[in-house]
Amino acid sequence: MSRTASLLLDEMLGSRIAVHLRDRGHDAVAVVEVAALISMSENLAVYLLPKGIRVSCLCPGPTMTTSTVGMKPWSDNVIMRGPGSNLMVKSQEHAANVLADGMCAGRIIIPTHEEGWEIVRRRGASPDNFIRQKMEEFTRGESGLPGR
């Protein structure tokens, strides 16, 4: 987590709650960071677009980076878990091209994976049902499994 995102999170949640979540390695911290950045981008766009300043927010799915160079896997058959585990890993070049194309098209929210829009649609259609479904998956231990 970047220092700026950490400070923003502390400000939004209050330091005690943010530290509590972080100390326990809770994924809620990452979820809150993403939601905060997307919301901030949307609100900046509303404020700045009339002034002629465009805002874009890249929402990357799994993207191949050099951050894993030198890491040793626990096994050859490691299954990726977590948000986006059902998506294909994209290259850095793909992500850069998607961002450039989205910015040229004047898009504000720019996901690297088109499948991201389906999640947005499901949540938008019924936020309560979407959250309940995620809670049920989590309770069953299925949250973040491939294909979810």
pTM to 2 decimals? 0.63
Using left for φ > 0, alpha for ψ between -120 and 50, and beta otherwise, residue 139 falls in alpha
pLDDT score, position 56: 93
Over residues 46-97, the pLDDT tens digits come to: 999 999 999 999 988 888 877 666 666 656 666 555 556 677 888 899 999 9
Quote the percentage of the chain above a pLDDT of 90: 24
pLDDT score, position 89: 84
Give the closest residue to 61 by CA, choosing from 43, 76, 44, 80: 80
